[in-house]
Every structure is written in C-alpha cells, then in structure tokens.
Structure 1
Amino acid sequence: MRSVQTDWFLYKKLIYTFKPSFRVTEVLQKDNDYFFIFSHNMGNAKSLIGKSKLRKLNPKTLAELQKNVDVYFTADEIQEWFQEYQSNLNKGMSKLTRKDFKEVYNTVFHGDATSFVDQLFRCFDIDGDGFVDFKEFIVGLCVSSSENSETKLKWAFNMYDIDGNGMICKEEMVHIIKAIYKMTNTVEHGEQDSAEEMCTRFFEKFDLNRDGYISFKEFKEGAMEDSMIVKLLECDPDPHI
C-alpha cells in the first residue's frame, strides 16, 4: 500500500477512464489537497492476465516518453501504465482502438458516450492512424489532466475544434456540449441550459471580435474568466465520489 497526492480530476480519470487496477482504501483532504490511500489489486476483467506474463516497456520508448515535456509520470509509473495498457488490449492487438475507448466510457457513464469518445479518441490519436499506441496514450493522459494551464487549455481547445482548423465555430461547440449531455444524461434531468443556450453564452464572452469564431487566443483569455468551458470536458460519471 502507498499514499499519493494528486488532483481530484486526475484520480477520477485514473479510476474511471482507463480502469487501472487500484483500489482506494481511504481519501483524506487537507485544505484544497486530496490524499489517496490505495492498494493494488487485479483490476478489471481484462487485467486477470498475470502481470508477470506481460512484457515490460522497452528502455528506448521509456526514455523517449520521459523526455517528452508533457509527460510527468515517473519511469515506474509509466511501466505500471504499460502493464495496464497491455491488459486492456483485445487479443491480437498491439494498440487501442476507438471501440476500446467506447466500451470503457459506455460502461462507466449512464448515457451514450459514443459522440464524446469520438472526439476524445481524435485528440489521443495524434498521428491519425485510427489507433492509440502507448506513447499517444501516455501523452494524452498527461495532457488532458495536466496542471499546466497552457497545456490544459490547448487540449480543451482541440477537443472543441473538431475540424482542426484552429478556430471553434458554434456548430462544433454545440456538438461537444450535446455529446457531454448525452453521455451524462444531463439534459434529461434538466440540470443545465440547452447546448445551444450554453454555446450562446460562451460565444458572448469568448468571441471578442464578434466574427462568429473563437480563436485559441480568445479561448485562452475567456477561460481565465470562465473556466466552465474547460470543466465541462472533465465529465464526472459519479459526482458523489
């Protein structure tokens, strides 16, 4: 058993998004920090493969990941994630597929996660080959939960910028918000404005030159005043945990 200090969203991302084989035994809070006490177990069904039978990450790839400015995991943590990554691959596969992502999210969330996962997968799949290899997996995990505001904002902007043209239009923002609502069943419970209403509010604050698009500069400046546009992407399958 060991103790770690991390942010609340990253903890949930570890537990829910990629289903690592950790069981939290205690959560302590001091001021604004959370301390998690956890023990290692056998994880999900796909993790029942003996960890001793799974190969370790080769030293060259490990060194490349540690040199990546966006990766903040230690060598041991990267190796642990490599074990989990392998145990979640389908038989005969060496990379995660879009289907793998969807299966995880549709298991975790009460709604339909398909649309949201399509966009999340797009951001993880850096080379656009239709798969997420281990390097992309680690970089995506670190970037999407980064404590560096610039890094986190770039990731959030890319999630909204579906066509990758460097600008967010209203249709793209509505699509992402609707995907989040659909995945979390938010609209059905009447807990938020409609996607169109929320999009309108964001554009009123963020689209400073009123050209109908939000540039990264506008997004960055607006997010400093209203962080909800980023927090929306930090979907919570169980707000009571």
Structure 2
Amino acid sequence: MKKTTFIIAMFLALGIMFNACEKDEVLTMSSEETYELKKENAMNANSFEFDPNACVDEPHTFTINAPVGTNLQVQYEETPGNWIQIFQISQSTLNPTEFEYTFVYVGEFNLRIKYGNGGFNDAGSIIVEDCNGCETQMRGETFCEDIYEEDELIYNRKAVFTFTPEEAGNFKIQGGLTNFTSELFEVTTTIGESSSRIPGGSSNRIITVIGEIESCDPVVITVKWFSDNDSGFITGKWTAELNGEEVMIIDSMECDDDKDGYAPEDNE
C-alpha cells in the first residue's frame, strides 16, 4: 500500500512539474508574441498623409498618425543634400497631428519623417506649382531711334512683341512692317524660328515666327529695321495663333507706341 501511494505521488509530482514547465513556456511565447504584435501595431500606426500636389506661397496641410507623446520631425530636400525642417515636436499631444507649411519655391521636393528616437524614413515627394496660372496675353512696343554700328547708321526702328499663352502648344505669330522698309532688318525670337517675305513686290515685310511653347512661358520677338517712312504707322496688324486658333491681335502702331493685344471676339 505504501509502495502504491509512493508511485502515485511521484506521478502527481511529475505531472505538476510538467504542467508548470508547459505554463512557463506558454507564458514566455505569449510574451514574445505580444511584444512583436505591439511593435508591429506601433509601426502600422505611424503614417504620414498629404496631398502630393501643393501650391507655392499657399499653406499646405500635412497629417501625421502616431501615438501621443511621440517625437516627430518632418524635413524636405530644398536642394540636393540640403534638408530643411518644416515641422518638429518633442512630444506630440494629439493623434493625428496636423501642421501646415508654405513652400516658397516651385519644383518637386523629397520629404522624410522621423518617429520617436529612430532615424528618418523616406516619405515620398511633393510637387509645388504656381497655381495662380496666367491669362493669354500679348503686348507690342515700338521705338524710333537711331542705332549705329561703328559710326554707321544700321537701324532706326525697333518693335518688340511679347506673347504669353495660358495653355501649352504650337504657336504662330505673324505681322508686318509698313512700306519703305529697306533690306536692313533683323528678327530675333526667344522661342521658335522666324521667317520673312515681301508681299507682291512692295517694300513691306511679313514676318512669321512658329514653334512650341509651354503654358505661361512668354516668347519675345524683337524686330529691328531701317525705314525712311517718317509718318503714320510703322507696323501692320500682328496676330498670335495657338494650336491653330487665333487668340490675340495687336493693331498697327506708330513710332514710340505700345499696345496690349485683344482677343478676336473682343473686336466683334
């Protein structure tokens, strides 16, 4: 009887020890899993949200999702390797945390963010544009002044035409110089290529400039010539076409004149 009792006691003791070890093992595994789960949840909880398109000189909103009490820093790369801090708080008080920043330069910039005491993480990029845009416009100016080269009179007339389109595309600018225009003349343009012709045997000149242009990017055409016409108009009508449609007109100009262009429908 004593022997049987001893054997039963041994089995009970072994069972208790095995159960204790098993519980310890389960508790240890549960603790590790809980730690990893918390770590994963914390990583997933951190996020940085913003509209990737911003307007220059206008406040832009950013949102950071991170636990309250987190050290947060956000920077953007103004020039290669030059990071500018746009937000920093040693211990956040809200989740989410929102802040605004106003960019003063146009372009595409890289962003990075720091959560807690770790290093910076890549946060993508943002495109900053001029959202004010522009309106299609054209302006003409004339100057009657003697231009000498090595004491020799070369030109005595100059006209400058500036065209700025609201949209990008193919442009064509065309206009004339009045009669009594000599062979001495010169055309320069900041965009595109120029050509000229003499209509019908007159001494007039028809000048054409064509090319491709970006939105809000002005093209400046400068014409210099010599003329002995001392009265009346020195230029004819000039027009600007964009993608095959006439969009601007400048009427004839006299010496030392300036005029703003107008849309064809404004002349109806």
For the superposition of Structure 1 and Structure 2, which TM-score range results when normalised by the shorter chain? under 0.3
- Output the TM-score relative to the length of structure 1: 0.19
Structure richer in helix, relative to its length: 1
- Output the TM-score relative to the length of structure 2: 0.17
Structure richer in strand, relative to its length: 2
Of structures 1 and 2, the larger Rg is shown by 2
